[in-house]
């Protein structure tokens, strides 16, 4: 569930931001962990399946790339954003850029201007820009964020592309099955009724199903649409999504891979923040939203342990936020003093591992899926023609 907050952070004044949380208490806990004093909080009620958040329509990666190019070309920060506003054709985005420049003309920093628009700029992005303002390397921070976003998108695209072909197979197989059962089978049932012969049990059941679909097609289609719509609606509810995720995590093979995928995203984000100069505890709190609730609670415990003086590698390992490889690499990162770079390498290692597993799973799953669809369609065809085979045998 999405919550809108008005809060105060020392040295920054009143902020408006949005948080994804399971309930109001969880949203309050997240805000307090980020050093915020809450003034007001309310749930943002809308159906995520129909209404998309504004941040999804704003290409923050493209914005960063264009801003980086203009800064490297020698324009000042304000001039760069003004140039982006002049070339922008979308009215809302153009208005956003003009509001950013107006805030900066008031003497505010870019990070202060960005945080006024939490629907467009996430907390991680604002934190990256804020850290770069302290060191004066905004261009480097933007380049780091662009690379980070590209790496995150790369893994996501691999998973999506691997799921497209199985999805098409399922749709095609389902349509063929519906055509056979709803159109072809009723035609055969007329022929068999005219023959007046007793049919095998399974053939008779198939013919009855075909006649039922043919006679009540509109009603059945309406019911199916309602069922699918209800399932989609239920799956968009945060509580139901979390319940479903917990069930998936309980599946031995899939749950372990989901954990690796989530940890890889977490390490990559934390590595980017650390390289940008964000303190480790603050970085842990900012990256917490990337983890599911089960791991988020463990992360808060790890942050508390680190505050008590325990090393990062020991705290993360103690609270189940590492793998065997990640634990060893974190120790090396502490020894070398390059923890941010080491977390990037951990994410690269696990992303490569995840990509290999997705490729292996898709190569295994696709033939199995084709075999199952073939058996279903073949079974329907055999049951339709089986009475004819019996009749031919009896004639001989």
* Residues paired with residue 40 on neighbouring β-strands, in sequence order: 6
Sorted by where each begins, the domain ranges of the chain are 1-45, 158-396
Instruction: Print pLDDT tens along the chain (396 aa).
Output: 677 777 776 666 666 767 666 667 767 777 776 777 776 777 765 444 444 444 446 788 888 888 888 888 888 888 888 888 888 888 888 888 888 988 888 888 888 888 888 888 887 788 788 878 877 778 888 888 888 888 878 877 887 888 888 888 888 988 888 888 888 888 877 777 776 667 778 878 888 888 888 788 788 888 888 998 888 888 777 677 777 777 777 777 777 888 888 888 888 888 888 887 888 888 888 777 777 777 888 888 888 898 888 888 899 888 888 888 888 999 999 888 888 889 889 988 888 888 888 888 888 888 898 899 989 888 888 888 777 776 666 555
Q: Residue 285, CB half-sphere, CA atoms under 13 Å: how many?
A: 18
Task: Give the contacts of 372 (CB within 8 A, at least 6 positions apart).
Answer: none
Q: Model's pTM, two decimal places?
A: 0.65
Closest of 37, 40, 31, 6 to residue 116, by C-alpha: 6
Helices 138-179 and 123-135, packing angle to 10 deg: 160
1.20.81.30, 3.30.450.40, 3.40.50.970, 3.50.50.60: which CATH number matches 158-396?
1.20.81.30
């Amino acid at each position: 569930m999405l919550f809108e907050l008005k809060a105060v952070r020392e040295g920054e004044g009143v902020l408006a931001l949005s948080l994804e949380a399971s309930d109001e208490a969880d949203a309050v806990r997240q805000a307090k962990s980020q050093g915020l004093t809450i003034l007001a909080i309310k749930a943002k009620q809308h159906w995520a399946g129909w209404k998309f958040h504004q941040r999804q329509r704003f290409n923050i990666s493209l914005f960063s790339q264009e801003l980086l190019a203009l800064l490297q070309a020698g324009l000042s920060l304000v001039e760069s954003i003004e140039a982006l506003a002049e070339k922008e054709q979308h009215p809302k985005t153009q208005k956003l850029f003009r509001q950013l420049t107006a805030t900066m003309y008031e003497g505010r920093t870019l990070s202060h201007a960005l945080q006024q628009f939490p629907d467009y700029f996430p907390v991680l992005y604002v934190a990256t820009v804020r850290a770069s303002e302290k060191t004066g390397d905004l261009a480097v921070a933007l380049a780091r964020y662009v690379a980070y976003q590209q790496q995150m998108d790369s893994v996501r695209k691999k998973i999506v592309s691997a799921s497209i072909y199985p999805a098409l197979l399922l749709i095609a197989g389902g349509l063929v099955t519906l055509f056979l059962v709803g159109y072809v089978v009723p035609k055969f049932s007329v022929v068999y009724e005219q023959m007046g012969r007793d049919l095998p049990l399974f053939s008779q059941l198939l013919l009855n199903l075909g006649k039922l679909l043919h006679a009540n097609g509109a009603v059945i289609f309406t019911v199916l649409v309602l069922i699918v719509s209800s399932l989609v609606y239920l799956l968009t509810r945060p509580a139901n999504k979390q319940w479903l995720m917990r069930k998936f995590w309980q599946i031995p093979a899939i749950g372990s891979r989901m954990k690796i995928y989530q940890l890889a995203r977490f390490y990559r984000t934390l590595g980017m923040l650390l390289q940008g100069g964000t303190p480790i505890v603050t970085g842990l709190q900012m990256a917490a939203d990337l983890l599911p609730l089960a791991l988020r609670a463990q992360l808060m415990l790890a942050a508390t342990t680190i505050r008590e003086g325990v090393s990062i590698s020991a705290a993360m390992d103690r609270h189940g936020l590492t793998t065997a490889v990640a634990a060893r690499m974190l120790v090396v990162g502490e020894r070398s003093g390059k923890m941010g770079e080491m977390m990037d390498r951990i994410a690269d290692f696990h992303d490569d591992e995840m990509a290999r597993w997705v490729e292996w799973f898709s190569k295994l799953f696709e033939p199995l899926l084709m075999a199952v669809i073939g058996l279903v369609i073949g079974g329907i065809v055999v049951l339709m023609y089986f009475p004819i085979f019996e009749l031919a045998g009896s004639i001989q």
